[in-house]
Amino acid sequence: MSSSLKSRLGRLQSRFTWDLKGEDMDLENLSTRLQEHIDLRLGKRGAVARSYGFLAYVRHLQGKPDEALSLLSQSEEETRECYGEDCERRLIVTYGDMAWLKYHTGDSTQSQSYCQRVEDILVKHPTASSADLHPEVLGEKGWTYLKFSRPYYPKAVDCFREAVKLQPEDSEWNAGYAIALYRTEKRVSAAREDEESPAMNQIRRALEINPEDAVLLSMLALKLAAYQRCQEADKLVERALEIDPENPHVTRYIAIYLRNQGKCNRSIDVLQRALKRSSQSAFIHHQLALCYMIKKRGHKPGNDVQQWRRQSIEHLEEAVKIKPSFHIALADLAELCVEDGDFTRAEALFQQGLQMAPKLEKDISQKFHFRYAKFHHYHTNNEADAISHYTKGLLLAADTGDGRQCAKKLKEIADQRLEGDKDDGKAFALLAVVAKAQGDKKEAANFYEKALDCEENDEYLSALCELRMELD
């Protein structure tokens, strides 16, 4: 393309310029979810138009340009119907996407035409400076990051924060900001936290503007449960179900809340109702499987337990069929296969998940390594693989719950080896790895010295030298 058109396209606010990488997302699963949002007309005002626009970008990534162009046209039409004369700022991203799509289909004339449309809107509706974005653009960007994948959630927080600064009373930006904070915020411990978290404060702020937002009500209920404030949470759950009982997003949060409260039967009822509207939801199938897994725990073997196990497996199989990259569901299914003695299938499922591990966030990857290590530790007697994956889990983050569990298991293995042989260098080296990961470099150096007393090993010597340099 000409340098002038290239320069114009590069300045557009568009999904093509927001550094969205297709390899970061299961595009087939994302397209299914977006189509569901459109079919069920989920979300607040303008949400369907956004879903059309985002689905168009997904279709582009999937190599379906004609469908992408059609979806963007539907996005424009939906936006105009929804906002009427006040739609222009809402079309900045739509026209930016269209300009890029027209370029990719070889229509440089139409590409320039859509560039001009965006430029005309920006002239008509200027911002304080050329570097500033309209809140409508920030909102579109924020929702896109939220829907794309977890690594993009922090960017969504930034977008919605800026949009709220520009329009503090806007219900959409406040809701988006609340959801983004909710998804990025780590779980809190009621025993250690006296004040409500930033996400809870923002959810309450968004509910002040729109008290009838059932999604936010159900999210707040889940947050309150972490503080053991179940009486208030129960009221919010009932209110959310009264306001929007058919919204699958509402029922998902409420089902999790009910399951966490030990009300599995009611959670199953809520999820089954949601499944009728969202049959291709891997999340709902996984949540149903978790409920049946809880029901079978603590019961003596019998027909009910066998039925619950079978239902768990069926829903997990459906979840990974819909979303092959669903790592937690893969691990759950693998562990059920272990219970049934099918180690071959369990290994295949774990391997499928391990292929994704490098791309996962640290906490999720850590959980997977920990569960795979336990499989080898307790079921295959493959100590080497158990140590390898406990160690990988430990090194990802030693101060998390799973990190501490990995450390505990490595210490158990080391202690067992030393009981059999008090001069086991490998055991002392394991203890050194744990001590170093936990920040005790002096203790780690001592263990490496003991390991070297037991056997000559270049790896231990190198690690000891490095520790001594750091200590000095």
Q: What is the DSSP letter of 14?
A: S
Summarised one tens digit per residue, pLDDT across range 73-92 is 999 999 999 999 899 999 99
Summarised one tens digit per residue, pLDDT across range 285-325 is 999 999 999 998 867 777 788 899 999 999 999 999 999 88
User: For position 194, what pLDDT does the model report?
Assistant: 61
User: For position 204, what pLDDT does the model report?
Assistant: 97
User: For position 186, what pLDDT does the model report?
Assistant: 77
Query: Average pLDDT, stretch 415-429?
Result: 94
How many CB atoms are closer than 10 A to CB 403? 21
How is residue 179 written in tokens?
A: 């959801």
The proportion of the chain whose per-residue pLDDT surpasses 70, expressed as a percent, equals 97
Indicate if the pLDDT at residue 137 is higher than 60: yes
User: For position 448, what pLDDT does the model report?
Assistant: 92
DSSP-assigned states of every residue in 283-300: HHHHHHHHHHHHHHTTSP
Indicate if the pLDDT at residue 342 is higher than 50: yes
> CA angle at residue 124 from 121 to 128, to 5 degrees?
100
Query: Average pLDDT, stretch 183-203?
Result: 76
How is residue 461 written in tokens?
A: 């010597």
* Cβ partners under 8 Å of residue 251, min gap 6: 245, 270, 271, 273, 274
Return the CATH number of 1-126, one of 3.40.190.10, 1.25.40.10, 3.40.47.10, 3.40.30.10: 1.25.40.10
Query: Average pLDDT, stretch 154-183?
Result: 97
User: For position 201, what pLDDT does the model report?
Assistant: 96
pTM of the model: 0.85
Q: Which residue has the tokens 């603590």?
A: 298
Buried-state track 243-255, b at ≥16 Cβ within 10 A, e below 16? bbeebbbbbbbbb
pLDDT band at 190; cut points 50, 70, 90: very low
Residue 198: is it exposed, middle or buried by C-beta count within 10 angstroms (0-12/13-18/19+)?
A: middle
CB 68 within 8 A of CB 60: yes
Indicate if the pLDDT at residue 22 is higher than 80: no
Indicate if the pLDDT at residue 191 is higher than 50: no
Summarised one tens digit per residue, pLDDT across range 246-292 is 888 899 899 999 999 999 999 999 999 889 888 889 999 999 999 99
* Cβ partners under 8 Å of residue 244, min gap 6: 214, 215, 250
H or E segment and range at residue 461: helix 458-471
User: For position 443, what pLDDT does the model report?
Assistant: 95
User: For position 75, what pLDDT does the model report?
Assistant: 96
Summarised one tens digit per residue, pLDDT across range 380-398 is 999 999 999 999 999 998 8
User: For position 188, what pLDDT does the model report?
Assistant: 56
From residue 60, give the alpha-carbon distance in Å to each of 22, 64, 113, 274. Answer: 10, 5, 20, 30
Question: Can you tell me the distance from the alpha carbon of 472 to that of 467, in angstroms, rounded to the nearest whole number?
Answer: 9
Map out the domains of the chain as residue ranges.
1-126, 421-472
Question: Can you tell me the distance from the alpha carbon of 122 to that of 109, in angstroms, rounded to the nearest whole number?
Answer: 20
User: For position 2, what pLDDT does the model report?
Assistant: 67
Query: Average pLDDT, stretch 228-244?
Result: 94
User: For position 9, what pLDDT does the model report?
Assistant: 95
Indicate if the pLDDT at residue 370 is higher than 90: yes
Mean of the per-residue pLDDT values for the chain? 92
Indicate if the pLDDT at residue 162 is higher than 70: yes
